[in-house]
Amino acid sequence: MSNTPLRRGTLAVVRTAWIVTAIFILSNAATPLYLHWQHTLGFGAGILTTIFACYIAGLLLTLTVAGQLSDYYGRKALLVPCVGFAVIAAVLFDQAQSVGMLMLARFLTGISVGLVVSGGMANVVDHAEPHRKHFASLMASMAMVAGAGMGPMLAGTAAHYLAAPEHVVFRIEVGLLLLALLAVVSQPNHRQSYGEFRLRLPSVPRANVGVVLTGISFFGPGLTATSFVLSLGPKLMSTFLHVNSPLVTGGMAFAMFMVALGAQLLAKKLPAQKIFMLSGVSTVAAMCCVWTALELGSAPWLVLSALLAGAGQGLGQLGGLTLIADNVPSECRAKPTPCSIWAPTFRRAPYRCWLVF
């Protein structure tokens, strides 16, 4: 397998960041369309939960091995099938005639997201010049957040105005993914690891368990908060406003992730410890607002909770990526297994928690 030196620079960082954006557009694009599929395919809330679970299953299964494969075989070798799985998933969503097709599409989406989280984010940082790792970390984080917000906004708008929105949404997404595939194939394949390949499950050195848990306590809740708002928000918005519009659902999700994007831009020069602390404060405030919204039956409080959750998730994500770029060598950036240079310090601990989580 070739190991051509990477072409580093701003253009290379932007090009590789686009790959992340295209995959994450797919990750949330289906959310505003589930009501449409429930009407056309005739399934209930229990089946909807199963469809969501298929995504999680694909994501978790992939995360356990994708980082190691990325480091050993190269980022390009991982990202080509990543985009391929995403294209197949988009076609299945477009042509979905049964619950089984939706489940398979969601499972493949989870696999694709797992691959891009493991190899795609590290790929962005790898293409930066040595003195611009912070810029690359910011671009990788912004690419993920922007894609996650654009997907539901595109789908929500299409579902509001069109009778068959899934065809428009996922055919546009296929086009975006093909552009991402061009970006992948134009880069050389650069391997990070050599020697015998041995697949290992994620692990944490015993001496570092405490600090890893500290890192998880900041990043994990932010990610959980946005997932909570994405899943519960549409139902609560329908209850509070008596409006069951996918445009409202998609708009709230879009606003949440745009706040995450803005928070990252504002905090880009802060040290990682302060970024994590701000993330924790925002996440706690978001959950307090959810509780207030439930008590008062208030849509404005629910919207505020979404915005704060977005800030918490975006800041936690930026903090983790910054620590990876600053403290982890390129041969260890994607893998969730112990690195030889690991030391039980607070500065390096959140790197591992970000990937294991």
Give the least confident one: 268-272, 276-280, 286-290, 333-337. Answer: 333-337
Euclidean distance between CA atoms 332 and 337, whole angstroms? 8
Interval 60-88 mean pLDDT: 87
Q: Which residues contact 149 (CB under 8 A, 6 or more apart)?
A: 28, 253, 254, 255, 256, 257, 258, 260, 261
Euclidean distance between CA atoms 176 and 30, whole angstroms? 16
291: its two tokens: 């509780």
- Highest average pLDDT, of 30-39, 87-96, 327-336, comes from 87-96
Q: Which of 167, 179, 152 is nearest to 26 (CA)?
A: 152
Q: Which residue has the higher pLDDT, 205 or 135?
A: 135
| pLDDT tops 70 at residue 251 | yes
- Name the amino acid, one letter, at 119: G
Euclidean distance between CA atoms 357 and 220, whole angstroms? 7
Other beta carbons less than 10 A from residue 178's beta carbon: 12
> Is 103 within 8 Å of 54 (Cβ atoms)?
yes
Interval 78-89 mean pLDDT: 95
Q: Which of 149, 146, 77, 81 is nearest to 306 (CA)?
A: 149
pLDDT digits (tens, 9 = 90+) for 126-160: 878 777 777 887 888 888 888 988 999 999 899 88
Q: Which residue has the higher pLDDT, 64 or 308?
A: 308
| pLDDT tops 80 at residue 43 | yes
97: its two tokens: 């005639």
> Is 119 within 8 Å of 56 (Cβ atoms)?
no
Q: Which of 193, 178, 211, 187 is nearest to 13 (CA)?
A: 187
Q: Which of 303, 317, 141 is nearest to 229 (CA)?
A: 303
174: its two tokens: 């296929």
Q: Which of 74, 73, 71, 128 is nearest to 321 (CA)?
A: 128
Q: Which residue has the higher pLDDT, 234 or 68?
A: 68
Euclidean distance between CA atoms 134 and 242, whole angstroms? 45
Q: Which residue has the tokens 């056309």?
A: 40
Q: Which residue has the higher pLDDT, 275 or 72?
A: 275
Q: What is the pTM of this model?
A: 0.77
Interval 311-332 mean pLDDT: 69
Q: Which of 136, 140, 117, 118 is nearest to 8 (CA)?
A: 136
Q: Which residue has the higher pLDDT, 84 or 202?
A: 84
> Is 204 within 8 Å of 212 (Cβ atoms)?
yes
Euclidean distance between CA atoms 342 and 352, whole angstroms? 10
The rounded mean pLDDT for the chain is: 80
pLDDT digits (tens, 9 = 90+) for 254-277: 889 889 889 988 887 888 788 888
